[in-house]
Structure 1
Amino acid sequence: MIGTLLRVLGDRYARPVRATVALMTAAAIAEGLSYALLVPVLRALLGDAPADAWPWMGALGAAVAAYAALRYASDLAGFRVGTTLLRGMYHRLGDHLARLPLGWYHTDRLGQVSVLAGRGLLQAMSIIAHLLAPFISALVTPATIVVVMLAFDWRLGLAALAAAPVVAATQRWTARATAATDTERHARDQQATGRVIEFLQAQPVLRAGGRTRERFGMLDEALREVQQASRRQTLATLPGAVGLTLVVQAAFTVLLALAAYLALGGAIGAAEVLTILVLAARCADPLLSLSDLGGKLRAARAELDRLDQVLRTEPLPEPADPVQPAHQGLELESVTFRHGDRTVFDDLSLTIPEGQRLAVVGPSGAGKSTLLQLLARFHDVDAGAVRVGGVDVRETSTRGLMDRIAIVFQDVYLFDGTIEENVRLGRPDATDAELRAAATAARLDEVVQRLPQGWATGVGEGGALLSGGERQRVSIARALLKDAPIVLLDEVTSALDPVNEAAVHQGVQHLMAGRTVVMVAHRLRTVQRADRIVFLDDGHIVEDGTHDELLRRGGRYAGFWDIVTAPTADR
């Protein structure tokens, strides 16, 4: 566990943790060694000259004071290092997530990262502040006491030492028995959380359909599974906890019986028996706490492993000497790309000259959005090359590439801030005049004017306080403010009402002016005005040409056009 913790923390944070672990170990050893002074103290007190105990009592007091100072310093260091590392780990996790390819993110993973960045990171870092010191004490102090017993009487020391492998085997057996139930409990917790969120988000649809009772049943079932998983987890842990208690108590009894036998035989005296009683009791206490500590450590270790898995995910490689693109043209050359077990593109080639507007159409699942993602280097291709300005995207820096590209997605995400703050993400140093000009071109000014707080209006988490059309206008204004020479558009008007569609369409026209554009679109007037159209199906370009050329050919695009325009013709 310590190795995983140090790997997760990285070189920068590992050194203070090592120092803290060393301090905690020293405190645990000092506690065990201080008990060795009980032998001369008790011998003097129970002997013919009790006054001779004063020097030994002074030594015992000094040893206890030294232990107390070390324990205070180690606990304080644990809290300080834990707090510092928690803050540092938030930064490290955030920096790492910012470097991961955007294609790594999907809905399920976003939920996992959200939990990990909240409760998970707190639980993982609690190892240092709350669990490490008692865990080290539970292992090192009994071991030190056993060494003291060996030095005091080898027979008693060996008897105490014989219990160590039994205790270790019991702990290992408990951990193995509860591993599966711990994993199941975590999965059930996540499932129940998802059901709760789904139930809340789906209220309008459920109430409209009169399905609330059914949904309650699904949520109740998820909660029952959590309860059952908790019960199985408790039952799996119980034998180990009881077994550990029995082992420790049996060892304690054996030591006392052996000490009494040796005392009756004259091998040791009453002082030694009392010392063994104290040492055995002090040895048993931390060992018994291992059961409770083990459960907490397993939970923290599980979160630590999840954190380690995320941090070990390799970001896309950055070139040592980035090459600057020479122009704004785009090219895919013999591209092969696999997503999981599915081959999305196989030997795909496409050239988009600078300043051209290319529309990509085709059925769902054809790879249209993936094409945009490869151009923006959300993923690296498995074979072939994606070039921007004649330069392979792997040979230019991610920041340099992103500076050249503005992306407008179908699903717009806005940060929980004001409208102005969200637009300024496109270019934070833009002037107020440039901000207003971008808003006017995107027709966002109409939205700002009718809101009571204007530009200072909060958009809510994810932009929840704005409508879909209003969020899309913010997104287009943000892209206009960025003023990038390459624009990628992904179905930006597919789910808008006619009023917002018209406004967004006007903003898109401003955004496309004078730029290299690749758009995935179904709206006909957007497709018609493209300089060129490619029809994508099953990861291959099956047709390529202008709107009129493709209609004259009577192929796949013409059939697509007839299907889309048929309702209009019927009306």
Structure 2
Amino acid sequence: MKRRDWFFTYVKAYRRHLLLASVLGALGLGSSVGLMFTSGYLISSAALRPESILLLYVPIVAVRAFGISRAVLRYVERLVAHDLALSILAKMRSRFYRIIEPHALRFHTRYNAGEALGMMAGDMEHLQDLYVRTVIPAAAASLLYAGAVVAAGMVSGPLAWMIGPAIFVLWFVFPLLSYGALRRPSRHMQRWVRRMYRTLADALSGMGDLVAAGRQDDYLAVFSSLQKKKIDLERRMNTAGLLRDIAVQLVIALTVGLVILWSGNPAWHPGIPAVYFAAFVLATLSLADAFAPLSPAMEAIPAHRESLRRLADMEHTWGRADRPEQDPRHDGPSPVDVSTVEVVMDHVSFRYPGTTEWAVKDISLTIPQGKKIAILGKSGSGKSTMAHLLQGVFPPETGSVLVNGRPAHEWGDRMTEVLSVLNQNPHIFDTTVLENIRIGRPDAGPDEVRRAARLAQIETRILSLPAGYATRLYESGDRLSGGERRRIALARILLKDTPWIILDEPTAGLDPLTERRLLTTILAATEGKSLVLITHRLVGMERMDEILLIDEGRITDAGTHAELLERNPRYRAWFALDHPFVAAPRH
């Protein structure tokens, strides 16, 4: 995906708004020039002491008209420009979200939270400025330049030849030089800022561990080093900008001097009364000053290009989303019955992009409505990959994963109508208990939420909180224990009431008593639903309809708890490790 797609797509879509803002900007700048011209003429005419004040009536009215029109045109131009920029920003953020949302479960494998925040907050804010501070001012200045040269040529050929090249330096040469001189520092600046985002996000996530290890000073040293390099770059860029501004002012002074020289030579302006000379000088000063902001605007283009590149790379990695009607994650299948679900994996194989090893290999599995299966294996055996394939996160490389006869990865957002997932780290939002549970079904009433909490056996704990269901939970649910957070997440799932549930290591990290209680609660509350339990522990296996043993991406054995204890030595050894005080059958 080319980076220009993130620019020209919106230029084309909003070309009328861009044209309107550019024309309004040019008219506003033209009004400033007209105001200075008529003011100079009025001052010169008044200095001649006309016989009647009525002779000054027209220039007085013109001064007022240009003064009012300049303010009005600038206001309307900024209104249109900011409306345009905010509309484009909203479209871009929506597009960004549509790209990453289908891949939310694996987005972190390429970008961490700081990088995602950098793209959302940094890159897109840069691109908002691209329109307001670069594209529209440059287009307005170009229209003004063309009009000024034509107007000067109509007044006097020598005047046009004098101010044309001088203004051209301000309009084109200096912006081009600014772009070239600050291209690399600007890109480096953005990269340092991104590194700071990554470092800060990483540190905030692991602040407790840093403090516990006594490494907070080391982190501060790293962050301070990044900050120092950023400040050094800013100092260099500011120095270059100061030198450029001095050069711009010198060219403006030169331009004004050329107009003064022109006005002092009668041969270059035959027939033009002397009363107009001050008007031309002041108008030239205003005209030249209108082009001064172009050079700083061009400095930001390298940063804009870097932001466009990053967004384009991200879209190239995760897929296009600028046409949501073609996005399978949002279309989903046509209406089907979602009250029951049957899942079929038929000779499924999958390997991650850029790898040659199979994450899962030749997996076949059928899950009719109401069946409870456990997928058992060590870490890295392919359990989580199977879960992702079942959820439709990845399409299989070979074989098929069908949910009610349709490929899982084509269900899109409608997958949430048939499937709920409880993993080992459910997120608790910084809102009330009621709203945390109601995430599962936003339209649910308070009574339905309480019923789900009772089924998840968490209501007693909720009622013990200061405000009950209205108690605000801290970020990540810090006022709850690990088991309580998972029961809140279980209540969400029960409130949602989907026919199929995947439990991905739901008891990892819990003590044995809490683990058994939570799993007992889950199995009791999900009676009649299809259940896939992904785990490396054998707690609750006796209540599973089927247990799949998986190793190196392959199913090595399958059966009930009793059958596997009977025939599989590895399963018996595993059971003995998990239940050291329970005797397994001997053979």
TM > 0.5 fold call? yes
Contact 2:378 2:536 in 1 (8 A): no
Match of 1:420 in 2: 434
**Displacement of 1:492:** 0.4
Match of 2:77 in 1: 74
Contact 1:245 1:288 in 2 (8 A): no
Q: Tell me how far apart the structure 2 counterparts of residues 538 and 422 of structure 1 sit (CA, whole Å).
A: 37
1:278 is aligned, of 253, 272, 282, to: 282
Contact 1:377 1:393 in 2 (8 A): yes
**Displacement of 1:377:** 1.8
Q: Tell me how far apart the structure 2 counterparts of residues 388 and 495 of structure 1 sit (CA, whole Å).
A: 31
Q: Tell me how far apart the structure 1 counterparts of residues 432 and 580 of structure 2 sit (CA, whole Å).
A: 42
Is the partner of 2:264 in helix, strand or coil?
A: helix
Contact 1:409 1:490 in 2 (8 A): yes
Alignment of 1:364-513 (within 5 A): 364-394=379-409, 396=411, 398-430=412-444, 432-513=446-527
In structure 2, runs of 5+ residues without a counterpart are 322-326
Moved more, 524-533 or 245-254: 245-254
Q: Does the C-alpha gap of structure 1 residues 427 and 81 become closer, same or farther in structure 2, counting only changes over 3 Å?
A: same
Is the partner of 1:341 in helix, strand or coil?
A: coil
1:158 is aligned, of 158, 161, 181, to: 161
Q: Does the C-alpha gap of structure 1 residues 392 and 526 become closer, same or farther in structure 2, counting only changes over 3 Å?
A: same
Q: Tell me how far apart the structure 2 counterparts of residues 102 and 308 of structure 1 sit (CA, whole Å).
A: 18
CA RMSD of aligned residues (A): 4.2
Alignment of 1:544-559 (within 5 A): 544-551=558-565, 554=568
Contact 2:421 2:493 in 1 (8 A): yes
Q: Tell me how far apart the structure 2 counterparts of residues 357 and 516 of structure 1 sit (CA, whole Å).
A: 6
Contact 1:332 1:387 in 2 (8 A): yes
**Displacement of 1:64:** 4.3
Contact 2:432 2:470 in 1 (8 A): yes
1:314 is aligned, of 313, 316, 320, to: 320
Q: Does the C-alpha gap of structure 1 residues 291 and 16 become closer, same or farther in structure 2, counting only changes over 3 Å?
A: closer
Contact 1:442 1:506 in 2 (8 A): no
Q: Report the AA paired with residue 356 of structure 1.
A: K
**Displacement of 1:350:** 1.9
Match of 1:339 in 2: 352
1:187 is aligned, of 191, 210, 217, to: 191
Match of 1:175 in 2: 179
Match of 1:232 in 2: 233
Q: Does the C-alpha gap of structure 1 residues 489 and 357 become closer, same or farther in structure 2, counting only changes over 3 Å?
A: same
Contact 2:163 2:258 in 1 (8 A): no
Q: Does the C-alpha gap of structure 1 residues 41 and 3 become closer, same or farther in structure 2, counting only changes over 3 Å?
A: farther
Contact 2:158 2:268 in 1 (8 A): no
Contact 1:407 1:479 in 2 (8 A): yes
Contact 2:178 2:296 in 1 (8 A): no
1:328 is aligned, of 309, 331, 341, to: 341
Contact 1:366 1:539 in 2 (8 A): yes
- 1:148 matched to 2:151? The reply is yes
Match of 1:103 in 2: 105
**Displacement of 1:53:** 5.9
- 1:543 matched to 2:547? The reply is no
Q: Report the AA paired with residue 324 of structure 1.
A: V
Moved more, 100-109 or 151-160: 100-109
Is the partner of 1:331 in helix, strand or coil?
A: strand
Q: Tell me how far apart the structure 2 counterparts of residues 320 and 110 of structure 1 sit (CA, whole Å).
A: 28
Match of 2:528 in 1: 514
Q: Tell me how far apart the structure 1 counterparts of residues 537 and 99 of structure 2 sit (CA, whole Å).
A: 35
Contact 1:358 1:534 in 2 (8 A): yes
Is the partner of 2:77 in helix, strand or coil?
A: helix
Q: Tell me how far apart the structure 1 counterparts of residues 337 and 346 of structure 2 sit (CA, whole Å).
A: 16
Q: Tell me how far apart the structure 2 counterparts of residues 449 and 141 of structure 1 sit (CA, whole Å).
A: 69
Q: Tell me how far apart the structure 2 counterparts of residues 119 and 238 of structure 1 sit (CA, whole Å).
A: 24
Q: Tell me how far apart the structure 2 counterparts of residues 292 and 229 of structure 1 sit (CA, whole Å).
A: 19
Number of aligned residue pairs: give it.
Answer: 563
Is the partner of 2:558 in helix, strand or coil?
A: strand
Q: Report the AA paired with residue 26 of structure 2.
A: T
Contact 2:348 2:364 in 1 (8 A): no
Is the partner of 1:285 in helix, strand or coil?
A: helix
Match of 1:359 in 2: 374
Q: Tell me how far apart the structure 2 counterparts of residues 290 and 44 of structure 1 sit (CA, whole Å).
A: 34
Q: Does the C-alpha gap of structure 1 residues 53 and 426 become closer, same or farther in structure 2, counting only changes over 3 Å?
A: closer
Contact 1:32 1:145 in 2 (8 A): no
Alignment of 1:12-161 (within 5 A): 16=17, 18-32=19-33, 54-56=57-59, 58-59=61-62, 61-78=64-81, 88=90, 92=94, 96=98, 100-103=102-105, 105-106=107-108, 108-118=111-121, 124-125=127-128, 138-161=141-164
Contact 1:439 1:477 in 2 (8 A): yes
Q: Which string of whole-angstrom CA distances, capped at 9 and with x for unpartnered residues, describes residues 330-383 of structure 1?
A: 122343444341355465332223132222222323332122122122233444
Is the partner of 1:513 in helix, strand or coil?
A: coil
**Displacement of 1:400:** 3.3
Q: Which string of whole-angstrom CA distances, capped at 9 and with x for unpartnered residues, describes residues 294-336 of structure 1?
A: 4567657766776677788535415586152685221223434
**Displacement of 1:284:** 2.7
Q: Tell me how far apart the structure 2 counterparts of residues 19 and 337 of structure 1 sit (CA, whole Å).
A: 52
- When normalised by structure 2's length, the TM-score is 0.80
Q: Does the C-alpha gap of structure 1 residues 162 and 127 become closer, same or farther in structure 2, counting only changes over 3 Å?
A: same
**Percent identical across equivalent pairs?**
23
Q: Does the C-alpha gap of structure 1 residues 40 and 439 become closer, same or farther in structure 2, counting only changes over 3 Å?
A: closer
Q: Tell me how far apart the structure 2 counterparts of residues 116 and 498 of structure 1 sit (CA, whole Å).
A: 42
Match of 2:324 in 1: none
Moved more, 472-481 or 502-511: 502-511
Contact 1:427 1:481 in 2 (8 A): yes
Moved more, 518-527 or 97-106: 97-106
Contact 1:46 1:271 in 2 (8 A): no
- When normalised by structure 1's length, the TM-score is 0.82
Q: Tell me how far apart the structure 1 counterparts of residues 80 and 335 of structure 2 sit (CA, whole Å).
A: 47
Q: Does the C-alpha gap of structure 1 residues 46 and 57 become closer, same or farther in structure 2, counting only changes over 3 Å?
A: same
**Displacement of 1:194:** 4.4
**Displacement of 1:454:** 1.7
**Displacement of 1:487:** 0.9
Q: Does the C-alpha gap of structure 1 residues 410 and 50 become closer, same or farther in structure 2, counting only changes over 3 Å?
A: farther
**Displacement of 1:448:** 1.6
Is the partner of 1:451 in helix, strand or coil?
A: coil
Q: Tell me how far apart the structure 2 counterparts of residues 430 and 485 of structure 1 sit (CA, whole Å).
A: 18
